[in-house]
Amino acid sequence: MTRPKNSLLVELPLLVWLVFVWGALWGDFGPGNLLVGLVLALLVTWVLYLPSVQLSGRFNVLQFAVFTATFVWQVAKASVEVMLIAILVGPRARNAVVGVRLRTRSDLLLTATGHTMTLIPGSLVVEVDRAAGTLYFHALNVRNAQEAEQFRRSALRVEAAWIRIMGTPEELAALRAERPGEGAAGTGSRDSAAIGSPVTASQQIVGGRRDDAPADAPADTPADAPADTFTDAPEEDRP
């Protein structure tokens, strides 16, 4: 069975990136070294049998610039929040494993969303269900179902940003068709790749960090009840 191959135009950004990485690794951007890098890049993408990654053929540079700026800010902000949790809350912090079912089934967007969330301090991908398009995160400072839902929507906002950057025209149209309040907290209401921090530190640090039990727990809930919460995205969030 032969695997489907992308056209040279679609593969061009990947080839340019691989050649750039080759030159950076050697510290030599001379024509001869870059030519060797190009041959190796063609070898990797066309000769070696690798899992096929279907690219959309579109890349929005403006949206990527907005995403990059907000991503750097959220990494810095989340780093401070995680530090405050470690200092002020310590072992009393409640964590959760949260399942997030994405809109897309693209391996590329699935990977980009998972890596983005992992690079922002406070969450880590622990499992991937590729067939169902679901990512499972270990999330810091998630104490109840409401905060798990907030985390899930922040992950969907990251996915929406990547769709705006390099999703297929069909995925982009479906995202724009979402009603306000639907999907990632109304991602269809603004056409921007800006993202938010998944960490909810301020709620626990400022709003009552001494309360170890979830705010919506029944009065007879023991203080040492399991802290982990598992949630999954409702079907209506899938276009």
Q: Is residue 3 part of a domain?
A: no
- Are both 131 and 226 inside the same structural domain? yes
What was the pLDDT predicted at 43? 86
- Are both 82 and 118 inside the same structural domain? yes
Calculate the CA 141 to chain-centre distance. 18
**In whole numbers, what is the pLDDT of the chain averaged over residues?**
77
What was the pLDDT predicted at 24? 87
Residue whose pair of structure tokens reads 């470690």 in the numeric block = 86
Distances (CA, A) of 110 to 44, 86, 116, 134, 177: 22, 30, 10, 8, 21
Domain that holds residue 116: 61-237
Handedness of CA 105, 192, 179, 169 (dihedral sign): negative
C-beta neighbour count of 200 within 10 angstroms: 23
CB proximity list for 199: less than 8 A, separation 6 or greater: 78, 81, 82, 85, 120, 121, 122, 123, 140, 141
Single-letter amino acid, residue 209: R
What was the pLDDT predicted at 214? 44
- Are both 89 and 182 inside the same structural domain? yes
Residue 103 DSSP class:
S
pTM above 0.75, yes or no: no
- Are both 42 and 73 inside the same structural domain? no
What share of the chain has pLDDT > 70, as a percent?
A: 69
CB proximity list for 232: less than 8 A, separation 6 or greater: 99, 100, 101, 134
- Are both 65 and 41 inside the same structural domain? no
| pLDDT of residue 152 exceeding 70 | yes
What whole-number distance in Å separates Cα of residue 63 and Cα of residue 71?
12
Q: What are phi and psi of 204, to 5 degrees?
A: -85, -35
| pLDDT of residue 223 exceeding 90 | no
What was the pLDDT predicted at 199? 57
Q: Is residue 55 part of a domain?
A: no
| pLDDT of residue 203 exceeding 60 | no
Q: Is residue 52 part of a domain?
A: no
Q: Is residue 54 part of a domain?
A: no
What was the pLDDT predicted at 193? 66
Q: Is residue 56 part of a domain?
A: no
What was the pLDDT predicted at 130? 87
Q: Is residue 139 part of a domain?
A: yes
| Count of domains observed in the chain | 2
- Are both 199 and 225 inside the same structural domain? yes
- Are both 30 and 118 inside the same structural domain? no
- Are both 41 and 116 inside the same structural domain? no
- Are both 43 and 67 inside the same structural domain? no
Q: Is residue 157 part of a domain?
A: yes
**Residue 141 Rama label (left phi>0; alpha psi -120 to 50; beta):** left
- Are both 27 and 115 inside the same structural domain? no
- Are both 117 and 233 inside the same structural domain? yes
Q: Is residue 182 part of a domain?
A: yes
Contact status, residue 159 vs residue 184, Cβ threshold 8 Å: yes
- Are both 201 and 88 inside the same structural domain? yes
What whole-number distance in Å separates Cα of residue 180 and Cα of residue 124?
28
